């Protein structure tokens, strides 16, 4: 990314605002949001501006609002309070902000919206309240796959822009991926029996924070890899464990990476761990191979599921024909989530707009168990970034309940499942850019083949 004051940096955001204005018939309001209180108001979580604001302004200003009109954009911001300088240091004047951002900037008190103005939902209630106040009508905070009280034409215009990344966005995502690589390598090097999961989080965190980044999401670093969103880090690592680490840096400009690796605490995969790992890896590579423009993402999900099943049949965990087993839901018994999602400023990009971004018009989530958690079902387009993240999970909730296993019981070999008892959860996740001819793995230099992971764990 060019330095903050350079004209090419300013022109990136000016071009994004212009493209949005060209799609709109009237004004749109895009607000940055407010820091959230941790317990009392003065003790706050670090401020993270709303992604739509970052996309069009490029700076995390708290309590600011961008008004985009067909004839130009104006940023409304809080003028610096001289008394606050005691605590926060001197803040830029609005004139300085205008120069830095290449935008007309006015005090937020001057914001008047006389015509009907479109807006987007906000992730938190307080910001939604501020937005409602500015607009003089109710705005419902974003939640769930349905959208309420927002302007769908604006949502669709923003989705169209943010689905396909420009050069500046990709530069930021590559930078985030490079920091994530350092974090994963540090995590691999730091791992040994007797440490707590939290110690590995700390080693990874040092790389991310030390690079001036933040986490793009709450890290998952766990010996209980079968717990899909396990965010606790309190357990001690034992030599026979696998450690699943789903950790991604967010660049200073707010762009995400999202990577999972699974490595052996002892430094060497056991025979069963390696065997299942190779099956997940083959599934991931087949899915990445399927990524190219025009391919429907749901089909990439299916490629991954079938390749996983092919491997599980070869291990003897299932008996039967792969296509037939897939149709009966066998892949989802060990891989119940979707193959991935959009990636951008948000780790699940644009999910504040529900499934409107992830699902192409006319498509909706399937109710079938294997596809229900798929967050994306669009035809891929050059410039999109998606994650590819198959896994294998031995989940008691699914495997120990006859109502979940159902008729698959007859195809499942529980003797083989018992032999694979030291494999709780494996996920392998990369960030993949759709190119004109295929795919580029943005996170491809993070060790992934078993021998490379083991070598990275031995590295000094």
Closer to ligand GLY by CB, 128 or 342: give it: 342
CA 324/CA 326 separation, integer angstroms: 5
Alpha carbon 279 to chain centroid, angstroms: 24
* Cα–Cα nearest to 54, from 351, 257, 348, 252: 252
Tell me 109's DSSP state.
G
Residue located via tokens 């949502």: 155
- Beta strands (DSSP E) in 336-384 are none
Contact track, ligand GLY, 233-272, x by CB under 6 A: -------------x-----------x--------------
Q: Is 346 in the site for ligand GLY (CB under 6 A)?
A: no
Closest-by-Cβ residue to ligand GLY is 246
Residue 349 interacts with which of Mn ion, ligand GLY, none, CB < 5 to 8 Å by class:
none
Q: State in angstroms the smallest separation of the CB of 380 from Mn ion.
A: 16
**151 is an interface residue for ligand GLY by CB under 6 A:** no
Q: How far is the CB of 263 from ligand GLY (least distance, A)?
A: 17
Site map 182..221 versus ligand GLY, x via CB under 6 A: -----------------------------------x----
Letters for 387-406 (x = contact with Mn ion by CB under 5 A, - = none) are x-------------------
Cβ-based nearer residue to ligand GLY, 14 or 386: 386
* Window 216-275: residues binding Mn ion (CB under 5 A): 246, 258
Crossing angle for the helix pair 271-290 and 450-458, nearest 10 degrees? 120
- Residue 349 sits in the site that holds ligand GLY (CB under 6 A): no
303 binds ligand GLY (CB under 6 A): no
Q: What is the smallest separation between the CB atom of 125 and ligand GLY, expressed in angstroms?
A: 24
Evaluate whether 301 touches 374 at the Cβ level (below 8 Å). Answer: yes
5 C-beta neighbours (distance < 10 Å), count: 11
- The secondary element (H helix, E strand) that includes residue 118 is strand 118-119
Least distance in Å: CB of 347 to ligand GLY? 6
Binding residues with Mn ion: total (CB under 5 A): 4
Handedness of CA 446, 255, 62, 144 (dihedral sign): negative
For 258-291, b where at least 16 C-beta lie within 10 A, e where not — what string? Answer: bbbbbbbbbbebbeebbbbbbbbbbbbbbbbebb
Binding mask 385-414 for ligand GLY (x = CB under 6 A): ----x-------------------------
Nearer to ligand GLY, 117 or 387 (CB): 387
CA 251 to chain CA centroid, nearest Å: 13
Q: Which one of the spans 42-50, 184-192, 328-336, 426-434 is the region binding Mn ion (CB under 5 A)?
A: 426-434
Q: Closest by alpha carbon to 210, among 249, 245, 237?
A: 249
Please report how close the Cβ of residue 75 comes to ligand GLY at its closest, in angstroms.
32
Give the strand pairing for 242-246 and 260-264. antiparallel
CB-based contact 220:230 (threshold 8 Å): yes
Q: How many CA atoms lie within 13 A of 295 on its CB side?
A: 23
Name which of 341 and 424 has its Cβ closer to ligand GLY: 341
The residues that touch Mn ion, with contacts defined as CB under 5 A, are 246, 258, 387, 429
Residues that bind ligand GLY (CB under 6 A): 217, 246, 258, 341, 347, 389, 429
């Amino acid at each position: 990314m060019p330095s903050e004051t350079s004209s090419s940096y300013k022109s990136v955001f000016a071009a994004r605002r212009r493209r949005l204005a060209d799609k709109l018939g009237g004004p749109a309001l895009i607000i940055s949001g407010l820091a959230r209180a941790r317990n009392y108001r003065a003790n706050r979580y670090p401020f993270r501006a709303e992604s739509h604001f970052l996309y069009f302004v490029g700076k995390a200003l708290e309590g600011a609002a961008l008004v985009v009109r067909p004839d130009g954009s104006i940023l409304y911001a809080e003028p610096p309070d001289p008394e606050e300088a005691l605590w926060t240091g001197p803040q830029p004047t609005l004139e300085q902000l205008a120069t830095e951002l290449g935008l007309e900037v006015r005090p937020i008190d001057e914001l008047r919206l006389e015509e009907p103005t479109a807006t987007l939902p906000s992730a938190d209630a307080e910001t939604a309240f501020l937005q409602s106040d500015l607009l003089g009508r109710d705005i419902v905070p974003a939640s769930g796959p349905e959208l309420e009280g927002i302007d769908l034409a604006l949502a669709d215009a923003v989705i169209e822009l943010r689905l396909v990344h420009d050069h500046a966005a990709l530069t930021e995502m590559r930078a985030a991926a490079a920091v994530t690589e350092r974090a994963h390598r540090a995590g691999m090097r730091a791992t040994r029996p007797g440490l707590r999961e939290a110690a590995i989080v700390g080693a990874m965190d040092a790389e991310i924070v030390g690079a001036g980044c933040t986490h793009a999401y709450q890290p998952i670093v766990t010996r209980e890899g079968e717990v899909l969103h396990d965010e606790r880090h309190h357990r001690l690592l034992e030599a026979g464990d696998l450690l699943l680490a789903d950790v991604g840096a967010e660049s200073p400009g707010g762009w995400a990476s999202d990577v999972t690796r699974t490595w052996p605490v002892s430094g060497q995969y056991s025979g069963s761990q390696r065997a299942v790992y190779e099956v997940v890896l083959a599934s991931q590579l087949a899915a990445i191979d399927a990524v190219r423009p025009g391919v429907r993402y749901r089909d990439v999900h299916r490629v991954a599921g079938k390749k996983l099943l092919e491997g599980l049949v070869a291990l003897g965990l299932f008996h039967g024909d792969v296509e037939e087993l897939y149709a009966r839901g066998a892949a989802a018994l060990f891989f119940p989530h979707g193959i991935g999602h959009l990636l951008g400023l948000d780790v699940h990009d644009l999910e504040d707009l529900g499934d409107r971004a992830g699902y192409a018009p006319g498509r909706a989530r399937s109710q079938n168990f294997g596809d229900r958690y798929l967050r994306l079902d669009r035809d891929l387009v050059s410039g999109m970034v998606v994650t590819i993240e198959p896994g294998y999970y031995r989940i008691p909730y699914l495997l120990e309940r006859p109502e979940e296993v159902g008729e698959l019981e007859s195809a499942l070999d529980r003797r083989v499942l018992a032999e694979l008892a030291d494999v709780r959860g494996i996920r392998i996740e990369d960030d993949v850019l759709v190119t004109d001819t295929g795919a580029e793995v943005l996170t491809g230099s993070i060790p992934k083949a078993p021998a490379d992971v083991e070598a990275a764990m031995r590295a000094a």
